[in-house]
Structure 1
Amino acid sequence: MIDIDRALIRFRTKTGHLDAVRDVSLRVEAGEVFGLVGESGCGKSTLLRALAGLVPLADGTMRIGADDAARAPRRDVQMVFQDPYGALHPRFTVDKTLREPLAINGIGDQDARILDALAEVGLSAAFRFRYPHQLSGGQRQRVSIARALIVEPRVLLLDEPTSALDVSVQAEILNLLRRLHRERGLTMILVSHNLAVIGFLCQRIAVMRNGEIVEQLNVDAVRSRDVAHEYTRRLLLATEGYTRGRGMHTERAPEA
């Protein structure tokens, strides 16, 4: 479903240019949940934005199915952003937020689709005419997920979807995403700095550092600590400390 070959993403600066992503190649199969993990600033979110058509490539190729990523139908690839407080228009009700992508893509039966989308992410019809400031962080992120899914995409890109939320709410959103993947058969790429979050949802992961992929491995190797690169080992140690300190036991969380 996703094929990236030697992608280079370059930004101009006052002193020349910055290569935010360098020589990245990876493949994601249809229906797979693939994780991108690494510290802040390593290029993982930039790579996701390029797949969404928001950032141009300087070199290399990206394909979604049979289409170049820059020309793929926009409804096929949808993205959920990190900040649930900044992702929603403050003057749009939930209804208007969900209605807009339907109108842009010429999709009819809007009222029924909006109610179905809210129900799918665990929100009742009572939320339909609320504004973002009347929602909690978890409720806002559920609306963002509903907005992405309402146009029935083939690919869902998730940029740190739980990092701005409380730990208990993180577990609810992760369980929601796992259920949606199971029910819809979506292809997903999940970006996170936390290997515990990646391990909960993903079958395979790529570890990024300084704009490059240093290692690709399956999630069983992560759980058994069977990793080759020293940087991946350091990420695992950092995640273990976070898990012990914060007590995030996502596997035991109830279904959202």
Structure 2
Amino acid sequence: MIDLEHAHIRFKTKTGHVDAVRDVSLRVEDGEVFGLVGESGSGKSTVLRALAGLTSLNGGSIRIGTQRGRHDVQMVFQDPYGALHPRFTVDRTLREPLAINGIGDQDARILAALAEVGLGPAFRFRYPHQLSGGQRQRVSIARALIVEPRVLLLDEPTSALDVSVQAEILNLLRRLHRERGLTMILVSHNLAVIGFLCQRVAVMRNGEIVEQLGVDAVRSRDVAHEYTRRLLLATQGYTRGGGKLPQSETGA
């Protein structure tokens, strides 16, 4: 579904330039959930933005396997407070992508999209300031899915939320993947989150992929690179501090 080969992304700075992504290659199969993990500044979100068409490559190539249209790839952003227009109701937020893509039967689609993410029709004419962080993120997910993409890009979709709400959103994403057969790429700094949702993971550091491995290797800590081991230790600290992964699909 997704083929990224030898990607290079360079940004201009006041003092010259920075190579944010260097020679990154990865392949994601149809229906797979693939994780990109690394600390802040490792280049993982930049890769995601390139796949979404928001950032251009300076070298290498991207191939998305569906080619049905621009709505085939959709993205959910990290900040549920900044991702929604403050003067748009939920109805208008969901109606806009339908209008842009010339998709009809809008009222029925909006109600179905809200129901799919666990929000009732009462939320339809609310504004973002009337929603909790978790509800805002559900609206963002509904906005991405309402045009029926095949690929969903998720940029730290739970990191700005309370721990209990994180579990609900992760369970929701797992259910949506199962029901829709979506291909997903999930960016996170937390290997516990990656391990819950993903089948394979690429570990990024300083703009490069240092290791790719299956999620079973992550869970068993069977990793080759010292940087990956440090990320695992950081994740252990997070779980000891009170962060918990969802154990079931309740409340999603």
TM-score range, shorter chain: over 0.9
Q: Residue 31 of structure 1 aligns to a residue in which SS?
A: coil
* Partner Cα distance (1:121, 1:16) in 2: 44
Aligned twin of 2:55: 55
2:143 to 147, 151, 175: 147
Deviations 1:175-206 (A, max 9, x none): 00000000000000000000000000000000
Q: Which residue of 2 aligns with 1:34?
A: 34
Q: Secondary structure at the match of 2:201?
A: strand
The 5-angstrom pairing of residues 228-243 of structure 1 reads 228-243=224-239
Distance 1:172 1:66 in 2: 30
TM-score by length of 2: 0.98
Q: Report the more deviating stretch, 93-102 or 241-250.
A: 241-250
2 CA distance for matches of 1:83 and 1:66?
28
Give the Cα separation in 2 of the matches to 1:174 and 1:122.
13
Could you say if the C-alpha distance between residues 222 and 149 of structure 1 is closer, same or farther in structure 2, counting changes exceeding 3 Å? same
Out of 66, 73, 77, the residue aligned to residue 69 of structure 2 is 73
* 2:103 alignment partner, SS class: coil
Stretches of structure 2 that go unaligned for 5 or more consecutive residues are none
Contact 1:10–1:58, Cα closer than 8 Å, also in 2: yes
The amino acid that maps onto 2:11 is F
Q: Distance in 2 between matches of 1:11 and 1:120?
A: 38
The alpha carbon displacement at 1:252 in A equals 4.2
Distance 1:73 1:25 in 2: 24
Query: Is the 2:116–2:142 Cα contact (8 Å) retained in structure 1?
Result: yes
Q: Deviations over 1:117-157 (max 9, x none)?
A: 00000000000000000000000000000000000001000
Contact 1:200 1:251 in 2 (8 A): no
Aligned CA RMSD, in angstroms, stands at 1.0
Matched, 1:206 2:202: yes
Q: Quick one: which amino acid aligns to residue 113 of structure 2? A: A
Task: Name the counterpart of 1:168.
Answer: 164
Aligned residue number for residue 109 of structure 1:
105
Per-residue deviation, 1:73: 2.5
Amino acid at match of 2:65: G
- Of the three residues 76, 84, 97, the one matched with 1:88 is 84
TM-score w.r.t. length of structure 1:
0.97
Q: Which residue of 1 aligns with 2:182?
A: 186
Q: Distance in 1 between matches of 2:136 and 2:52?
A: 21
Given that 2:192 and 2:245 are in contact with CA atoms closer than 8 Å, whether structure 1 keeps it comes out as no
Identity of aligned residues (%): 86
- Structure 1, gaps ≥5 residues long: none
CA apart distance, 1:250: 1.4
Please name the residue that 2:43 is paired with. 43
Moved over 6 A (4+): none
Alignment check: 8 A CA contact 2:193 2:245 kept: no
Paired residue secondary structure (1:246): coil
- Map of 2:21 onto structure 1: 21
